[in-house]
Amino acid sequence: MTKYIRLILSSTLPRAPIPRHMRLCRFCRAAVEDKSHVLLECAVHGPLVDLREAFLAQVFALDPNLEVVFPGLAHYDFLVKIIASRRGVVRVARYIFEAFQLVRAAKMFIPEGYNLP
Ligand SMILES: [Zn+2]
């Protein structure tokens, strides 16, 4: 199971050679665009928010314990918990795929002074 958790969380979003602290979310530009932010935090892009809400509703229905622990965990830790859940994992791979499709469809934020290679 650990191998699969690492594989899913190590999949990368497209990245430019920009310092990490300047890799701001292409939707909100208020936080670093990492997996946890995109998958569980960013509240600006309507389709992403809708996708997340549907995903969480399904995951919480499949594994009610995840809804109990959700408010108390850091987003990354919650992602690990979902992937580790035998009930929740059936839905998480599709959510990650669909969420990253939305991200890839939007133009990446490039800070002034940086360019794509
Ligand atoms: Zn954001």
Q: What is the per-residue pLDDT across 26-43, written as a single tens digit (0 to 9) for each?
A: 999 999 999 999 999 999
Q: What is the CA(99)–ligand 1 centre distance, in A?
A: 12
Name residue 22's amino acid. M
Q: What is the CA(39)–ligand 1 centre distance, in A?
A: 9
Question: Which pTM does this prediction carry?
Answer: 0.80
pLDDT tier at 98 (50, 70, 90 boundaries)? very high
- Of 10 and 113, more confident: 113
Give the number of other Cβ atoms within 10 Å of residue 50's Cβ: 11
CA distance 82 to 89: 6
CA distance 12 to 38: 12
Q: What is the CA(37)–ligand 1 centre distance, in A?
A: 6
